Chain A
Amino acid sequence: DVKVTQSSRYLVKRTGEKVFLECVQDMDHENMFWYRQDPGLGLRLIYFSYDVKMKEKGDIPEGYSVSREKKERFSLILESASTNQTSMYLCASSSTTWRSPLHFGNGTRLTVT
């Protein structure tokens, strides 16, 4: 069974802090994704990666960066947290079989005060 693990379930940070959200998957998946989920907006793609060292901007990359130094780990970085980044963050991974779904972690609820 695919397991995607996000390092924190809840985080509270102050405005201006640098925030790291970590995600690890154990199924040797090539593809990894970061989404944020807000009520009424569904899930919106922040960044994704199809290979180690590779990253691509999603629909809402402003204020975020990512790092993928190892295949199993994909980190989301908030360089200077702001209150409008308070949200649920979901990491996902998938294989390169086109019909395969995304497998999600349990999410990190980030509150920026």
Chain B
Amino acid sequence: AQKITQTQPGMFVQEKEAVTLDCTYDTSDPSYGLFWYKQPSSGEMIFLIYQGSYDQQNATEGRYSLNFQKARKSANLVISASQLGDSAMYFCAMREGLNDYKLSFGAGTTVTVRA
């Protein structure tokens, strides 16, 4: 079964508007972490934000915030005030269990910001 599901292959957003990227996950482990990465056309993987399963508050990093709904097993990334440089592929990933460090990735969502 797919551990991370990103249902939006591609999205368009107007510059300066907010965009929400969906991510749902599947795990039976109570200890897990969720990560979001950005991959621009240059190919590098840039870490954006992290949310732990025990964290009481939704994570925020600058213009990035995570809408974490534990009961629904969703961890949607919100990018506020989109910029042209936000055009990229975005990946959601999960780490499960306290003794495991590998990440399982979703298929990714391509975001295109329009001027």
Interface residues, chain A, with chain B CB atoms under 8 Å away: 31, 33, 35, 40-45, 48, 50, 58, 88, 90, 92, 94, 96, 98-99, 101-104, 106-107
Is B11's CB within 8 Å of the partner chain A?
no
In Å, the complex CA distance between A105 and B37 comes to 13
In Å, the complex CA distance between A92 and B95 comes to 14
Min Cβ gap A110→B in Å is 13
Min Cβ gap A98→B in Å is 6
CB < 8 Å neighbour of A98 from B37, B44, B98, B105: B98
Interface centre among A44, A48, A90, A104 (most CB of B within 10 A): A104
Residues in B94-109 with C-beta less than 8 Å from chain A: 95, 98, 101-108
Q: Is the CB of B102 within 8 A of A48?
A: yes
Min Cβ gap A30→B in Å is 8
Chain A's closest residue to B35 (CB) is A101
Min Cβ gap A16→B in Å is 27
Query: Chain A interface secondary structure, helix, strand, loop or mixed?
Result: strand
Q: Is the CB of B102 within 8 A of A99?
A: no
Interface centre among A42, A90, A92, A94 (most CB of B within 10 A): A42
CB < 8 Å neighbour of A99 from B33, B37, B45, B93: B33
CB < 8 Å neighbour of A40 from B37, B104, B107: B107
Apart from the given pairs A42-B107, A58-B102, 19 other A-B contacts in the complex at a CB distance below 8 Å:
A33-B103, A35-B105, A40-B9, A42-B91, A43-B93, A44-B105, A45-B103, A48-B102, A92-B45, A96-B101, A98-B33, A99-B33, A101-B35, A101-B50, A102-B35, A104-B44, A104-B45, A107-B43, A107-B44
